[in-house]
Each structure stands twice: as C-alpha cells, then as structure tokens.
Structure 1
Amino acid sequence: MTTTVKAGRPVSPAEGGPAPWSADELERRLRELAVSRYHDRHPFNQRMHEGRSTPAELRTWVANRFYYQCNIPIKDAFVLSKLRLPAQRRSWLRRIQDHDGRTDQDGGLERWLRLGEAVGLGRDELLAHQHLLPGVRLAVDGYVNFCRNADALEAVASSLTELCAPSIMLTRLETFPLHYPWIESAGLSYFRARVPQGRRDGNEALGWVRDWAVTRDQQHRALSALSFKCDVLWSLLDSVQGAARQELRDA
C-alpha cells in the first residue's frame, strides 16, 4: 500500500468505502455547516444584537465569555504540539500571540478586559472568574480537552467557526454603538481586531483541512469536529441565557 505525505503528515489511501469528496465539495459542506450552526443564530446573540439586552445581561456574557477567551491560547498550544512542520508551528503560534499579546498591554485578552471595564466589570473579578457559570466551564473545558486528545485534522477543523467570526464582529461594531451607547468605543477594540484576524486564521485553517482530509472518513471527522465546536459555542450561550432568565425571575 502506498503512503503519501500531506502537509508533513502521513496519509494512507482508503481501502474500500465511499470515494472522497473533492476539496471544493468538502469546503462547501464545511462552510454550509458553519453558517447554519454558528452561534450568531442563538437567541441570546440575536437579542443582544437587536439591542434588547440589559446591562446586567451584557456583564454576564462578557464575564463568562472571558473564560472562553482565556482558554483559547491554551487549546491553541495543544494544537501547536500536533503540527509536524516548522512553518505550520510558526503560523499557529501567531494565534497564541494574538490572544496573549507580546506584552501585558496588548493582545485579545487585554482587549477583552477593557470590554469588561467598559460594561462595568472590574479586572480583578474577571481575572478571578468570579461570575463563571458551571455550564460555561463545562463547555469550554470540553473544547480544550477535545483539542488535547484529537489529532491535528480534527483540532484544526474545530477552529473553522472562525470563518464566521468576522461577520459577527462587524455586526457588533455596528449594533453596539447604536443600542448600547453607554459602552465606550475603546471597549469595542476586541471586535475590531478580530475582523482581520478571523479572516486570516479561518482561511488558513480551511486550506489545511482541504489538504489533509483526503479520505471520506477524514472528511467526516473534519465536519464532526466543526459541529462539536458549534455545540460548544451554543452551549456557552445556553448557560448565559439561563442565568439571565433566572436574574429576571429573582428581580
């Protein structure tokens, strides 16, 4: 049996089974899945983007999403350890630096802390995760463990929600100043930075998945990994929405 190498990773051709889709067909299916399952469709996000969230709801969302933000560079470190080629590792390392920053004064985590301050949260309470919901912790930790245990294909494919990230960031840049003018513009810097980063990272990861998923089984595993990531983001918002409803009942 002949073994080829794709992107520094050995790949054996399938023995029997259905023929693989073309790379273009796989990309079509991945994009279709991402768009149909992305969390911009979640009722909490839709309500927030329509300007119907209260300040307390926004603070709950920002505080809990920060736990996700803090864990993104950790999951990216697990992905980095699975990449075989130096050029791939150098490229993926950039994602960790985007979140952690090159100093304490820049990076995505610092920008999210500024968003927290803009909605009325203190840095200390954010960094201590004082408002973290159990369901959010479970969803985020599940994603980190998925990337810890998955192979490179599945771990990279799970990141393809980034194909939709620029759109939701642009929506927030448009709707937050309109509906929540009390949030200072400087607090929205995270959304601005993620537009070009999401485009770059999503396209890069998609190219790798197109190259690596050369059997139908690998293609199905890529789709399943992306579906799982969509479930993670959806579950996070389920928890935040549930907490918001409970606050209204207790008020």
Structure 2
Amino acid sequence: MSAFDAIPTQDPPLLDADALEQRLRDIGAKRYHNLHPFHEMLHNGQMNKGQVQAWALNRYYYQSSIPIKDAVVLSRFRDRQTRIAWRHRIEDHDGNTDSEGGIERWLQLTTGLGLDPAYVESTQGILPATRFAVDAYVDFVGRRSPLEAIASSLTELFAPSIHEQRIAGMLEHYDFINPGVMTYFQRRLEQAPRDANFALDYVRTHATTPAAREAVCQALIFKTNVLWVQLDALYHAYVSGFPPPGAFRPERL
C-alpha cells in the first residue's frame, strides 16, 4: 500500500449499482479538490500573478501525464471495444496531425501567463510533490485491476463544476487572464461528461460484487487524494511561502 492509497472504511456493503453510484457521488461531494482552500483563493481572485503561474506550471505536469496514463489503461484491456471507447482520450490531450489537444491548450494558458513554453515543458520547476503524486497515479493504473484503473478516472464526474467556476472566476478577477487562454477548460466542459458517463457505466456494469464496488470507491478516493495533495504542496510553497530548492520562484512571493 502506497502513501496515497485510501484506508478501507466501515461503510455498509454496496449491494447494487445504485448504491455504488450514490457512494461515488458522496465521495466527490466530500473529497473533490474544488473544496481545497487553494482553489477557493484561485477562483476568488485572491492570488497574485506569480501564484497563478505556479499553479499553471505545476498543473502542466498532470495534464501532460494524462495521455500517458490513458495509454497505460488502454494496454490493460484485451477487449477491443473498450480500447476503442477509451483511446479518444489520448487524442483529446495529445491532439493529432490536424488538430490541437488539451496539452497545447494548456500551453496557451501558461504562455498567456508569461511563462516560457520550453521551461514549462521541461517540468524543471515543478514541486516534488507534484511529480510524486502524478507519477503515483500513472503507477496506480498500471498495477491495479483494470476495473480500478477506469474507476480512478471518475473524478471527471465532478470536473464540469470546477471548470465553470474557474472560467467565470478567473476571467472576472484577473486582468492578466483573457478568454483566449481559457480554451482548455471550455473544451473540457464537453469532454469530461462524455468520459465520466462511460466510466460510470463501466463500473456500474462490471463491479458485480460488494468487494468490487468497494474497490471502485477506494480507487476514486485514491484519485481525489492525488489531486488534493498537489494543492497542499502548492499552498505550502506559494501561499505559505516555502518553495523547495529548485522549484519555480515567482517574482512576487
């Protein structure tokens, strides 16, 4: 068990798919990272440009690792139909020869914030906790069951609300943000519900025992921990003011 693994709970057994879905939604309501103080500050205009830069820089490592994670998930399945249903996620982030993907859109954000794209892509300035958390997520989907690998993506159930808050809040409060650099979030308003519905249908169908349903819930808890700990590290480094050696240091800290 890794440091990010969830501790089994004493909740009642999950006897059917409806009970599973209700538990998953409860987990999101209590554990999703929209509740973190760092996000509240970010969305309410309480950060300076350097702090927003630090967030976008560190989040790039997560965004750029998502297609790697999804390629690992894809490799877990002998079932062709599941691979077909999953593989568009890689293109959503990587793009292809004639269209941009989420990673390019994220680089539009970091460039719009004044960060050098080469520096962002190098990931040299990210926090150690960012790297450890994201790498733990990629490792998780490779070593746990395929069911748990898909279940860990279910934070997408809750993503549209945070994207809506982010678009509205950042455009309202920061004069250095313009709509052109927010296209990543606007696109995910369409993509995340589609992906979440597939994953939810998958776990409802394939988690057929109380133990399997509990494993699905623990996978989601693990993923919420991955997201939460990244914000803990950002808060400590750029709100409390203790960036570790080698990490990005904005002009105003």
For 1:91 and 1:30, locate their aligned partners in 2 and report how far apart those are by CA, in whole Å: 22
Structure 1 equivalent of residue 125 of structure 2: 131
The equivalent residue for 2:183 is: 189
Partners of 1:90 and 1:105 in 2: CA distance: 19
**Cα drift, residue 19 of structure 1:** 6.8
Q: Is the 8 A contact 1:116 1:126 kept in 2?
A: yes
Please state how far the C-alpha of 1:59 moved relative to its aligned partner. 0.4
Work out the CA distance in 1 between the residues paired with 2:77 and 2:198: 14
Who is 1:41 aligned against? 35
CA distance in 2, matches of 1:67, 1:46: 21
Deviations 1:57-105 (A, max 9, x none): 1000000000001111111111111123212101110000000001375
Number of equivalenced pairs: 234
The structure 2 residue matched to 1:62, chosen from 41, 56, 63, is 56
Q: C-alpha displacement at 1:242, in angstroms?
A: 1.1
Residue 115 in structure 1 maps to residue 85 in structure 2:
no
Give the letter for the 1:61 counterpart: W
For residues 183 and 29 of structure 2, the distance between their equivalents in structure 1, rounded to whole angstroms, comes to 24
Q: What are structure 2's unaligned runs of at least 5 residues?
A: 1-11, 244-251
SS of equivalent residue, structure 1 residue 214: coil
Alignment of 1:137-176 (within 5 A): 137-176=131-170
CA displacement at 1:176 relative to structure 2: 1.1
Asked whether the 8 Å contact 2:14–2:214 carries over to 1, the reply is: no
Equivalent of 2:25, from 25, 31, 44?
Answer: 31
Structure 1's 224 and 19: CA in aligned 2 closer, same or farther, altered over 3 A?
closer
Larger radius of gyration between Structure 1 and Structure 2: 1
2:209 paired with 1:215: yes
CA contact (8 A) 1:59 1:119 kept: yes
Structure 1 gap segments, 5+ residues each: 1-17
- Contact 1:147–1:155, Cα closer than 8 Å, also in 2: yes
Runs of 4+ with deviation above 6 angstroms: none
Equivalent residue in structure 1 for 2:15, among 14, 21, 31? 21
Note if contact 1:19-1:215 (Cα within 8 Å) is conserved in structure 2: no
Distance 1:112 1:33 in 2: 28
- TM-score norm. by structure 1 comes to 0.89
Kindly, what percent of the aligned residue pairs are identical? 44
CA contact 1:104–1:110 (8 Å) conserved in 2: no
Distance in structure 2 (CA, Å) of the matches to 1:110 and 1:203: 25
* Aligned alpha-carbon RMSD (Å): 1.7
Task: Tell me the equivalent position of 1:4.
Answer: none
Q: Is the 8 A contact 1:100 1:108 kept in 2?
A: yes
The two structures have a TM-score, normalised by structure 2, of: 0.88
Q: Aligned partners of 1:20 and 1:31: how far apart in 2?
A: 13
